[in-house]
Amino acid sequence: MPNRDEKILVVGACGQIGVELTLQLRKMHREGVVIASDLREEHPLLKGTGPYVSLDIMNKETFHVLVLRYNITQVYLLAAILSATGEKNPTLAWHINMQSLLNVLEVAKEENLAKIYWPSSIAVFGPDSPKHNTPQHTVIEPTTVYGISKFAGERWCEYYFNRYNVDVRSLRYPGLISYKSQPGGGTTDYAIEIFHDALSNGHYTSFLNENTYLPMMYMPDAIRATIELMEADASKIKVRSSYNIGAMSFSPGDIAAEIKKHFPDFTIRYKPDSRQNIANSWPRSIDDSEAKNDWGWKPEYDIERMTEDMLKNLQH
């Protein structure tokens, strides 16, 4: 049951996850409880569904004032620079990914906010981490600036929880596949582009090789995981850095074969670019048994069901 005094701020609400998370949170709460914010103009799907404010999360003072003005009790921080974009400007990616989190954690500490959500990623793992069923606790030596910032962010989350009792919760999302809003510059974006190109011209040129396996998840599972984690009793949250969560693992070859079941004339060509190196450094599949044991995580979508749903929705 949502608490009547809860006031939720989503930062980065116009991005791939933010739009869908905001819409889902608004379904669950009374009108006006969920405030969406972003640097960008309000996303068309959010218009008319609730309050929207323009916010640069890098400005701690403005954020702090907003928290006080709206009596915010929970923050979902989704603003970040993703893996592929991060490699183009590493110092900017580090600055934005770290400072945004520190601003939120500091204000959460100062104002005693009830709960914070901040996502990490499978990008925390590096080439020396086990590739198959990568465990929760293992070698973590990321080689991308995005992964380094996510790993440092996880340490900060655990630190603020242990030192200041800030109830911050986190998931290491796999690559997320969705149709409502565009992806924001990641290495797993191919798995979304392929659907759009399959429908618009029957062909896709993949920037990853045919056999590049990566952990993936359909957006409805990711949104549900986020909300289930945030609603779980605090006593169940044993991992205060960030939880591994998984759903499926596939390669560009696999997803092309799945699309071909629906469109037999679909063709694919492989032309790997610099994103191949990023993908090579990441796990192929994830062990999410701690999330399953601690707070009951269970994915619903596999590659078949996800492909069917993506194609159905993109054709409407």
Report the residue number, 43 or 266, with the smaller CB distance to ligand NAD.
43
x/- mask, ligand NAD, residues 112-151, rule CB under 6 A, reads -------x-x------------------------------
Angstrom CA distances, 145 to 77, 97, 142, 163, stand at 19, 10, 8, 26
Question: Has 70 been annotated as catalytic?
Answer: no
* Largest Cα–Cα separation, the chain: 58
Q: How many residues bind ligand AKB (CB under 6 A)?
A: 10
Residue range at the interface with ligand NAD (CB under 6 A); choices 32-40, 132-140, 155-163, 269-277: 32-40
Among the listed residues 52, 76, 146, 160, the single catalytic one is: 146
Judged by beta carbon distances under 5 to 8 A according to partner kind, the member of ligand NAD, ligand AKB, none in contact with residue 187 is ligand AKB
Q: Within a 13 Å sphere around the CA of 173, how many CA atoms are in the beta-carbon half? A: 25
Q: 62 to 101, contacts with ligand AKB by CB under 6 A?
A: 82-83
Q: Is 186 in the site for ligand AKB (CB under 6 A)?
A: yes
Q: Is 176 in the site for ligand NAD (CB under 6 A)?
A: yes
Judged by beta carbon distances under 5 to 8 A according to partner kind, the member of ligand AKB, ligand NAD, none in contact with residue 57 is ligand NAD
Q: How far is the CB of 313 from ligand NAD (least distance, A)?
A: 17
Residue 308 has a CB neighbour count (10 Å cut-off) of 14
Phi-psi group of 288: left, alpha or beta (phi > 0 → left; psi -120 to 50 → alpha; rest → beta): alpha
Indicate if the alpha-carbon torsion angle 130, 290, 162, 160 is positive or negative. Answer: positive
Rounded CA separation 159/101 (Å): 12
Q: Is 299 in the site for ligand AKB (CB under 6 A)?
A: no
Judged by beta carbon distances under 5 to 8 A according to partner kind, the member of ligand AKB, ligand NAD, none in contact with residue 38 is ligand NAD
Judged by beta carbon distances under 5 to 8 A according to partner kind, the member of ligand AKB, ligand NAD, none in contact with residue 12 is ligand NAD
Rounded CA separation 81/64 (Å): 22
Residue whose C-alpha is closest to residue 142's, from 64, 67, 220, 242: 242
- Catalytic residue positions? 146
